[in-house]
């Protein structure tokens, strides 16, 4: 669970002051944007009653807000802009996220966009066919479990937003990390792995749009670099944690 804190400030601003209020917060936002304690912020206006506004600020922590931002050189300029509107505040509180969270279906998961379980099964089948014929990677997989490709398909499916099949059948993130401990993967082997899985993605017919492939490659780069670390002599096994969930990142899928 993230340690971030969300601050909500609810205002009721008379209609005749709303333009000045928005202009003041536009200027004050420069101080929020410059603060290392501010993750993001948004000022929203009620559609049903234009006098109501809600400012949402995500802070790295409540302490960072109260002792970091408010004690910083940025705060006086921020306060000077919003001071006239303090009497109009109806609520100002810090909130912590709960476990009730998730995404809706307006943007498909990478798993769904790729074609679901069948697509990832095709991917890993094509990939390990290439691996076992590759002079650089074949030695790493000399003792390959016949079900390995299937297990990796479950892993990738879960990572990219599919069902938690890997966690339920194989043991989650710790199990995957354990598979790499002590294997001594080299950087040339990692690079070859990255190249071959991209070739396999083409062969398996995974989507070729820029948004999907950039997200796919971002995970492959991240995951293979961790694999190199965990395969090394100084690696420390991580604390138990869930399988990472990858999303579109900066760019959602282009849908016309």
Is residue 146 classed exposed, middle or buried when 0-12, 13-18 and 19+ CB atoms within 10 A define those classes?
exposed
Closest alpha carbon to 2 in 124, 95, 122: 95
Would you say 39 and 4 are in contact if contact means Cβ atoms under 8 Å apart? yes
Annotated ligand binding at 180? The verdict is no
Would you say 161 and 112 are in contact if contact means Cβ atoms under 8 Å apart? yes
Q: Which residues have CB under 8 Å from 111's CB, separation 6+?
A: 120, 157, 160, 161, 162
Q: Which residues have CB under 8 Å from 187's CB, separation 6+?
A: 228
Both tokens of 106, joined, read: 């307006």
Would you say 244 and 167 are in contact if contact means Cβ atoms under 8 Å apart? no
DSSP string, 121-165: HHHHHHHHHHHTT-TTTGGGGTT--TTHHHHHHHHHHHHTT--SH
Annotated ligand binding at 65? The verdict is no
| Annotation: binding site for heme | 151, 175
Enumerate the known binding-site residues. 151, 175
């Amino acid at each position: 669970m993230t340690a971030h804190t969300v601050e909500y400030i609810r205002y009721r601003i008379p209609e005749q002051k709303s333009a000045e209020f928005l202009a003041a917060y536009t200027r004050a936002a420069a101080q929020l944007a410059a603060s290392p304690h501010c993750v993001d912020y948004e000022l929203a206006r009620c559609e049903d009653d234009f006098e109501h506004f809600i400012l949402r600020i995500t802070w790295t922590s409540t302490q960072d807000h109260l002792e970091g931002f408010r004690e910083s050189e940025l705060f006086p300029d921020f306060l000077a802009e919003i001071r006239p509107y303090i009497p109009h505040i109806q609520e100002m509180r810090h909130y912590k996220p709960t476990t009730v969270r998730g995404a809706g279906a307006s943007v498909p998961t990478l798993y769904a966009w790729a074609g679901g379980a069948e697509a990832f099964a095709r991917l890993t089948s094509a990939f390990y066919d290439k691996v076992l014929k590759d002079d650089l990677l074949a030695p790493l997989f000399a003792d390959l479990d016949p079900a390995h490709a299937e297990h990796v398909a479950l892993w990738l499916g879960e990572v990219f937003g599919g069902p938690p099949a890997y966690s339920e059948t194989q043991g989650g993130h710790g199990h995957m990390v354990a598979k790499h401990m002590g294997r001594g993967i080299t950087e040339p082997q990692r690079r070859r792995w990255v190249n071959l899985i991209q070739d396999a993605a083409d062969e398996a017919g995974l989507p070729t749009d820029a948004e999907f492939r950039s997200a796919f490659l971002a995970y492959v780069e991240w995951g293979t670099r961790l694999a190199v670390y965990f395969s090394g002599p100084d690696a420390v096994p991580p604390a138990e944690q869930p399988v990472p969930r990858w999303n579109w990142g900066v760019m959602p899928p282009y849908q016309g």
